[in-house]
């Protein structure tokens, strides 16, 4: 396949008019001579950006990864692909161990398909959380950080776990970081940890934040907390739910200024209601009510989002984040955070030809 005349997003954040050549293995190549399928797409007047990478999403289109149903996961992956998300990390919830074992094992039967986003790993959100900052997780299933528990779930999944959320203020958390930080990206979150505790965790090797601002203490001038420690750690990358409900537009702009365009990661944190009508749904064993794209528990607690990552990226631009920074936060940065930037996240020869054709207003026209 050949894509001609598009304004192609470059690794330096600029757009340049050029042709893209795709070989028979769905990889970008540097020569038209290496293209076997000579089908041409005219991208005149369109931007060409990398396929999006969502590293934190629980579900979509009526299904949830925590259902433990491979057929349901396939439907999620189909929805994500047609929505512009080509790389995906299904994300678990805090649930009983026997259920988590079934869920993590189910990913082995999801398979692949041209109409599906590629599973790039699992995001393990829970059960190693702080009950006081549990958010939409069920407190009775929260437990002490346990390296062997994590390793067993990882083994059942075929060693696909890329991220694990950890509350660093819980007993055993520092030992957990010491033991597994070379095996998985440890993401700090769902915690009431202060600055010193958080900074210690980062020094031990935890360099990621689970949904910045949400389920953590606020940044205060005398108690900077987890957020202050993360800003101070140049290796720490921070997830951000930019659905228009979780975070005020000003706080979104502040986050991008604090962390810079290299360290911000847009996520959807979507649950099964995304792509569906208003109504009642379920997340982590609790009833969720969605109204006007806002998902909450019965007590009003936000329960994930009902927005996909592509729409979160558009919302970031609506909130005055520069287009290049928003695209990086939905492509390059998440890919780097889980170690797959050599495969996806930018447009260059040798990488997967995961491409989106969009208008200048970021309206999705075609997924390659």
Q: How far is CA 154 from CA 104, 120, 176, in A?
A: 7, 14, 15
Pairing of strands 59-60, 63-64: antiparallel
- Location of structure tokens 């365009």: 261
Alpha carbons within 13 A on the beta-carbon side of 37: 14
> CB count, 10 Å around CB of 125?
27
> CB count, 10 Å around CB of 241?
26
Q: How many helices (H) and strands (E) does the chain have?
A: 10, 21
Residues 6 or more apart whose Cβ sits within 8 Å of residue 78 = 61, 113, 115, 116, 117
Quickly list H helices, 158-210: 173-180, 195-204
Q: Is 269 noted as a catalytic residue in this protein?
A: yes
**Residues paired with residue 186 on neighbouring β-strands, in sequence order:** 164
Do 283 and 302 form a contact (C-beta atoms < 8 A)?
no
Among 64, 243, 269, 311, the active-site one is: 269
Q: How far apart are CA 215 and CA 352, in angstroms?
A: 35
DSSP 213: T
- Write out the catalytic residue numbers: 269
């Amino acid at each position: 396949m050949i894509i001609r005349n598009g304004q192609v997003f470059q690794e330096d954040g600029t757009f340049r008019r050029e042709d893209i050549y795709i070989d028979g293995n769905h990889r970008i190549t540097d020569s038209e001579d290496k293209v076997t399928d000579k089908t041409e797409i005219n991208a005149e007047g369109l931007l060409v950006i990398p396929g999006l990478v969502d590293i934190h999403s629980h579900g979509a289109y009526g299904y949830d990864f925590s259902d433990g149903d491979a057929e349901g996961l396939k439907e999620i992956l189909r929805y994500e692909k047609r929505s512009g998300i080509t790389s995906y990390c299904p994300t678990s919830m805090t649930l009983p161990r026997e259920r988590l074992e079934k869920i993590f094992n189910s990913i082995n039967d999801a398979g692949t398909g041209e109409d599906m986003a590629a599973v790039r790993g699992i995001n393990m959100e829970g059960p190693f959380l702080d009950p006081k900052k549990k958010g939409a997780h069920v407190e009775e299933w929260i437990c002490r950080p346990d390296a062997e528990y994590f390793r067993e779930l990882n083994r059942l999944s075929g060693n696909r776990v890329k991220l694990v959320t950890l509350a660093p203020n819980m007993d055993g958390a520092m030992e957990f970081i010491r033991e597994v930080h070379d095996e998985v990206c440890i993401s700090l979150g769902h915690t009431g940890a202060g600055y010193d505790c958080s900074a210690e965790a980062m020094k031990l090797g935890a360099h990621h934040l689970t949904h910045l601002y949400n389920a953590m203490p606020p940044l205060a001038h005398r108690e900077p907390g987890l957020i202050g420690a993360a800003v101070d750690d140049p290796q720490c990358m921070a997830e951000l739910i930019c659905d228009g409900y979780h975070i005020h537009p000003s706080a979104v702009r502040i986050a991008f200024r604090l962390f810079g365009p290299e360290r911000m990661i847009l996520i959807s944190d979507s649950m099964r209601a995304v792509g569906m009508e208003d109504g009642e749904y379920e997340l982590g064993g609790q009833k969720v009510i969605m109204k006007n794209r806002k998902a909450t528990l019965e007590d009003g607690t936000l329960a994930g989002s009902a927005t996909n990552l592509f729409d979160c990226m558009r919302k970031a631009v609506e909130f005055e984040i520069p287009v290049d920074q928003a695209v990086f936060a939905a492509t390059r940065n998440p890919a780097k955070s889980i170690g797959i930037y050599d495969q996806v996240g930018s447009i260059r020869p040798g990488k997967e030809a995961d491409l989106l054709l969009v208008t200048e207003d970021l309206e999705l026209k075609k997924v390659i």
